[in-house]
Amino acid sequence: MTLESGLVKGAILAQRYQIEHLIGVGGMSRVYLASDLKLPGKRWAIKESSVSANRGDHLAEEAEVLISLQHHRLPHIVDFFHLSNTGFCYLVMDFIEGVHLDKYVMGKGGLSFEELIKIGVQICEGLQYLHDHQPPIIHRDLKPSNLLINSKLEITFIDFGIARTYKEASQEDTVKLGTVGFAAPEQYGGKQSDGRADLYSLGALLLYLGTDCQYTLWSDDADKRLRNKGFAHISPILCRLLRTSPEDRYNTAHQTAEALKLLLQTSQKPSDRSFAVTTYRRPFVIAVMGTGPGIGVTHLSIAIAHLLSRRAEKVAIIELDPKSTAFTALSEIFEAEKGIFRNNAKLSHLQNKGFQIKGVQYIRSPARNELLALFSDYYEFVICDLGSGRRKECLEEFQRADLSLLVCSGAEWRQEELVTFADQFKDVRAASKWICCVPFGRKEIVRQLRKTSGIKEVYSFPAEADPFSPSGFTEEVFMEVCGDALPQNIIQQRSGFGLGRKRWRRNN
């Protein structure tokens, strides 16, 4: 829309604000820099918007709400007036030094991982303040051009053009607006947008910045770009923020900020490869076996593989139960990339048994000689999904593994399975220390299983909705429970897990 503004340099508004020059133009407004005639030396940013007859009252109401806001991430709005003879209204706000966030990123050729996280945390601060307001204020147009960043890397919101208050009784938004690529699906009709719509936009914004202004929608290409930049740590958070259903995202901006802060607290920069494996030549083997069917062996194996793939270049997960059809189904559902071994002479004979999902290589039912090839120096981590069968070969791999995880049910009527397994395979257990995992097991169940089975290493694991993009909490629990068994260079570079591990174990 073209605005026929009459403002020129030197024009005076409300007998107080003298226009210096045009700062920027948006789809619905212009922003000018103005000096204050009553307060010499004071400068303001003045946003000019066109007003139709039915929008004047609405804009006045919104301005009244915005004027009440006081937060260091938000510009302080000090005045609002409507010139009926021109058809324009004006918001007077603090003039913020800085550049638009997208221009900043493109100008410096991308962000570091630490910069990306700190920007996300600062945006969460502003969003949480808006969402905690009574009634809550939903921004609805969070994007790089509506954010300024200064020389100290401090973020400030600068545009609330389509912000709205959340109305408890309303079924959907009155005005369906937003920037394509950054706006949440619910903003286009069907339901009222709440604070989680802004969290979707935050996810799109961080993905955009993290991929050097290339992607706002999650895809394998976006995921690959993050990995190539060493930003894989943030992928689970972005995936959750970008879920189609608001119920599947984080509930609050504060919760999102805490997840982002955890990335800085528990890891070094990804370029330093805090999880990198450099001190041993053969792969580190993790074997996962179940005490019975249907208790999540494959689910946990996949989650572990994708956790490790965030820090290691080459991770494989092997399906060793020949009766299992899980990997066959996965290759069809994901239409996974095949032919992954064509450039590796040692593994080229596995062409028809392998495929790839999000950087993890999946191999179905390899023969004995093929398995030995997989245990060569090509991989950094190999996860063996042994299922719940009792084949001799599977028990041997469970015994030989560097880390042996036994998955058992948390259902009271299935507790005997762990007792039976422990008793039946005492010899295996003597040669291999087990860690027993109880998916979403209650504390009292975990304590009871320790007592009845005689195995001290029994721990509850969180419910993980998406094993291909495990949450930060799942990662933390895995490290706390299994960290002692992992290569020492990993533990040394993630020393912050030491105390957390003790806390987790005491509570379980």
Q: Taking residues 153-168, report their average pLDDT.
A: 69
Cα 2 to Cα 4: distance, rounded to the nearest angstrom: 6
Detail the residues annotated as belonging to a binding site for ATP: 47
Cα 32 to Cα 391: distance, rounded to the nearest angstrom: 75
How many independent structural domains does the chain possess? 3
Percent of the chain with pLDDT over 90: 26
Q: Answer yes or no: do 24 and 88 share one domain.
A: yes
> Residue 147 sits in a domain of what CATH number?
1.10.510.10
Contact 161, 141 (CB under 8 A): yes
The helix (H) or strand (E) run that includes residue 242 is none
Contact 213, 204 (CB under 8 A): no
Q: Answer yes or no: do 255 and 307 share one domain.
A: no
pLDDT of residue 142: 92
Q: Are strands 284-290 and 403-407 parallel, antiparallel or unpaired?
A: parallel
Q: Which two tokens stand for residue 434?
A: 């087990």
pLDDT digits (tens, 9 = 90+) for 296-309: 899 999 999 998 88
* Domain assignment of residue 359, yes or no: yes
pLDDT of residue 53: 53
User: Residue 36's domain spans which residues?
Assistant: 12-94
Residues 6+ apart with CB under 8 A from 264: 114, 117, 118
* Domain assignment of residue 278, yes or no: no
* Domain assignment of residue 500, yes or no: yes
Please tell me what DSSP assigns to residue 95. Answer: P
pLDDT of residue 209: 95
pLDDT of residue 301: 93
Q: Answer yes or no: do 340 and 458 share one domain.
A: yes
Q: Answer yes or no: do 115 and 245 share one domain.
A: yes
Residue finishing a domain among 272, 293, 310: 272
pLDDT of residue 490: 45
Helix crossing, 472-482 with 253-266: angle to 10°? Answer: 40
Beta-bridged to residue 25, according to DSSP, are 30
**Strand arrangement, sheet containing 315-319:** 337-338, 354-357, 360-364, 315-319, 381-385, 284-290, 403-407, 434-439, 458-461
* Domain assignment of residue 150, yes or no: yes
Q: Answer yes or no: do 70 and 115 share one domain.
A: no
Q: Which two tokens stand for residue 401?
A: 């593994």
Q: What distance lies between CA 213 and its chain's CA centroid? A: 17
pLDDT digits (tens, 9 = 90+) for 31-59: 899 999 999 999 999 988 887 655 556 66
Q: Answer yes or no: do 85 and 114 share one domain.
A: no
Of 17-21, 306-310, 430-434, 439-443, least confident by mean pLDDT is 430-434
Detail the residues annotated as belonging to a binding site: 47
Residues 6+ apart with CB under 8 A from 271: 113, 230
Higher pLDDT, 488 or 355: 355
41 Rama sector, left if φ>0, alpha if ψ -120 to 50, beta otherwise:
left
pLDDT digits (tens, 9 = 90+) for 60-119: 766 777 788 889 998 888 888 888 777 888 989 889 889 999 899 999 888 999 999 999
Output the CA–CA distances (angstroms, integers) from residue 53 to 50, 56, 66, in the order listed: 10, 6, 21
pLDDT digits (tens, 9 = 90+) for 320-358: 887 888 888 887 776 555 555 545 555 555 556 778 888
> Residue 334 sits in a domain of what CATH number?
3.40.50.300
Cα 91 to Cα 34: distance, rounded to the nearest angstrom: 12
pLDDT digits (tens, 9 = 90+) for 238-265: 988 998 889 889 989 999 999 898 887 6
At residue 266, does pLDDT exceed 60?
Answer: no
Enter the pTM of the model.
0.54
Cα 135 to Cα 183: distance, rounded to the nearest angstrom: 21
Please tell me what DSSP assigns to residue 160. Answer: -
When pLDDT is cut at 50, 70 and 90, the band that residue 506 belongs to is very low
The torsion defined by the Cα of 472, 477, 480 and 484, in degrees rounded to 10, comes to: -100
Q: Taking residues 169-187, report their average pLDDT.
A: 63
Which residue, among 351, 297, 341, 295, has the nearest Cα to 319 in the 3D structure? 297
Q: Answer yes or no: do 503 and 488 share one domain.
A: yes
Buried b (16+ CB within 10 A) or exposed e, 26-55: beebbbbbbbeeeeeeeebbbbbbbbeeee
> Residue 85 sits in a domain of what CATH number?
3.30.200.20
What string of DSSP letters covers 264-314?
A: HHH---GGG-TT---S-SSPEEEEEEESSTTSSHHHHHHHHHHHHTTT-S-
Residue 23, classified by CB atoms within 10 Å of its CB into exposed (0-12), middle (13-18) or buried (19+), is middle
Angle CA(382)–CA(387)–CA(389) in degrees, nearest 5? 130
What string of DSSP letters covers 323-387?
A: T--HHHHHHHHTT-EE-TTTT-GGGGGGGGGEEEETTEEEEES--HHHHHHHTSTT-SEEEEE-T
Q: Answer yes or no: do 476 and 453 share one domain.
A: yes
* Domain assignment of residue 1, yes or no: no
When pLDDT is cut at 50, 70 and 90, the band that residue 501 belongs to is very low
Please tell me what DSSP assigns to residue 31. Answer: E
pLDDT of residue 163: 54
